[in-house]
Amino acid sequence: QLQLVESGGGLVQPGGSLRLSCSGSGFSLDYYTIGWFRQAPGKEREGIVLNNSGNSKTYYVDSVKGRITISRDNAKNKVFLRMNSLKPSDKAVFSCAAGFAIRSTLEPAQSDFWGQGTQVTVSS
């Protein structure tokens, strides 16, 4: 019915860059607020960036602000996360989530639905 699929993860050297993709199936992402989250081994999942539906407002967590860019390609029904200057501490499973509500924080809503995640490893 509704599905999100992340791609673009992999192994990158410190200081390198990756572009992650969140692809929608069964619905149009442009109608949804989209957030990117990460979960490092042994740590809780945290919100990284959130872009409200209609591209009205974007919120970033302080630890990545200035290093990441979220963008949409509605024709391809995708949302991208460009990450630069990656650090070993960025190693995590990155997931995207979608919901209807307009947000002012990075906290996910109960009704949000998620992709399965893509692994990002930053290592020399």
Q: Is 116 a residue whose pLDDT tops 90?
A: yes
For CA atoms 85, 64, 72, 9, give the dihedral sign. positive
Confidence tier at 35 by pLDDT (50, 70, 90): very high
How far is Cα 67 from Cα 114, in angstroms, rounded to an integer?
Answer: 23
- The residue whose two tokens read 């650090």 is 87
What's the CA gap between 87 and 105, in Å, rounded?
Answer: 24
pLDDT digits (tens, 9 = 90+) for 51-79: 999 877 999 999 898 999 999 999 999 99
Asked if the model's pLDDT at residue 2 lies above 90, the reply is: no
